[in-house]
Amino acid sequence: MKHILSIIVNNKPGVMSHVSGLFTRRSFNIDSVAVGVTDKPEYSTMTIVLNGDDRSLLQFESQLLKLPDVIEAKKLTYHDSVVKELILARVKAEASKRSELLGIVEVFGGRINEITEDSMLIELSGDQRQVNGLIKMLEPFGILEIARTGQIALALKGEG
C-alpha cells in the first residue's frame, strides 16, 4: 500500500541522511522524496512517498520521532490531501507539430517555458496521474530530456 509521510525536521546538514537511513534499516522502499525549507528557515518539510503495510508504517512513525532532528511526522491520505509534483520536459517540436503540442500542453494545464528551432520546454504541475498522462502524450513527439520532482503534499483542512 502506498503512503505519504510529511515530516518536519530541523534544517541542518545530515538530517536527510539520518531519516533516509532509517528507511533503509527498516527495508522500506522510497518512491519519492521532496525536501524544502518551511516558512521558518530553521525547519524543513520532507514529503516521502513509500510502499508498506499499515502496521509497519505505524512502527516506523514512532521510530522517526525518536530521531533528534525530527519535530513532527504524520501520515497523509491521498483523498484528504493536495498532492502535486512538477515536471520539465524538452520535446522535439518540428514547426509542423507545434500547434498539436501546444494543444496537448493546454489541455493538461501546462506551460511552455522555451521554444527553439527544433524543441519545446514544457512545464506541468499536477498530480501523478496528470504528469504520467502528459508524458504518455509527449512520447510520440520524442522526449529529449525530462526532470521530475518528487511529490509534495499538504493535508486539506476539514470543516469545523
Amino acid 158: pLDDT: 65
Amino acid 24: pLDDT: 79
The answer, yes or no, to whether residue 159 has pLDDT greater than 60, is: no
Distance CA 103, CA 130 (A): 15
Cell of 88: 520539465
Average pLDDT for 42-59: 87
Give the list of residues 6+ apart from residue 92 with CB closer than 8 angstroms, or none: 118, 119, 141, 142, 144
Average pLDDT for 21-49: 89
Give the containing element (helix H, strand E) for 71. strand 70-76
Amino acid 160: pLDDT: 39
Average pLDDT, the chain: 92
Q: What is the pLDDT of residues 101-142, one digit of tens each?
A: 999 999 999 999 999 999 999 999 999 999 999 999 999 999
3-state secondary structure of 97: helix
- 140: how many CB neighbours lie within 10 A of its CB? 11
Distance CA 125, CA 109 (A): 8
Average pLDDT for 55-84: 90
Instruction: Give the chain's domains with CATH numbers.
Output: 2-76 (3.30.70.260), 83-155 (3.30.70.1150)
